[in-house]
Amino acid sequence: MLNGTEFGRLFETFERTAFRLETLDLYDIEDEREEFEAFLEGKPMPPEWSDNPWVRSMTRLGKSVSRVHVLKSPLTDYLRYELSAYPGNITAGESIGIIDLAQQNVFGLPNHDFWLFDDIDVYRMHYTPDGRFTGAEKLPPNMTPQYRRYQEVATIHAVPFAEYWERLNR
C-alpha cells in the first residue's frame, strides 16, 4: 500500500495516460479544508482554479489526464466545491466526464476509486468512511483488463463535464 507521497510520485513517472474513476461524495483532504470553507462562504477561489498547475505539469509534457466522476445528485456541498474546480482542470488539459446516477443507470462499474496509468498499472484507492485517503494499492497485472473495461464503461456513459455543469446550473 502506497502512502500519499509515494503515490504522488507516480504522476511524475507515468509516460502517456492517467485515468481516474472517482466514486465518493466527500474527500477529506487536509490541504483543501481552508479553501472548502472559503467556498462555502462564497469567497473567491485562488487563481490556480482557472488553470490547474498540477494538471498542467503533466499535460504540457503531452501526457493525457482524464477522469470520470460517478455521483448522484443532488450534489453535496463538497461535490459542488469539487466540480466548481473542474473548469480549471479542463483548461489545463484534463478531460472530465460525469455519470450522475440520478439521471442514468450504469452497471458494470466498481464502487471504489482507482487510477489506471498507461493502460497497464492499476491502483485501487482506499479511503476511510469519511473520505480520508489511507493508501493506494497496486493491483496485480491480471486485474488490468478488468479495470480497462471499467474505464471503457465509464467513458462511454459519461457526459462531458461542461454539458453536465450547464444542465445542472440552468
Encode pLDDT of 30-44 as tens digits.
Answer: 889 999 999 999 998
Each residue's pLDDT tens digit, 54-83: 999 999 999 999 999 999 999 999 999 999
Q: What is the reported pLDDT for 62?
A: 97
The C-alpha cell that represents 135 in the structure block: 493508501
Residue 161 has pLDDT above 90, yes or no: yes
Q: Kindly state the DSSP code that residue 46 receives in the 8-state scheme.
A: P
Each residue's pLDDT tens digit, 78-101: 999 999 999 999 999 999 999 999
Q: What is the reported pLDDT for 47?
A: 85
Q: What is the pTM of this model?
A: 0.95
Over the chain, what is the mean pLDDT?
Answer: 96
Residue with cell 484507492: 125
Question: What number is the average pLDDT over the span 145-169?
Answer: 96
Least Cα distance to 101 among 81, 76, 73 occurs for 73
Give the Cα separation of 151 and 57 in Å (integer): 23
The C-alpha cell that represents 60 in the structure block: 504540457
Residue 169 has pLDDT above 90, yes or no: no
Strand partners, 18: 65, 117
Residue 48 has pLDDT above 90, yes or no: no
4-168, CATH topology level: Endonuclease; Chain A (3.30.870)
Sheet strand arrangement including 17-22: 133-138, 121-127, 114-117, 17-22, 64-71, 95-100, 159-160
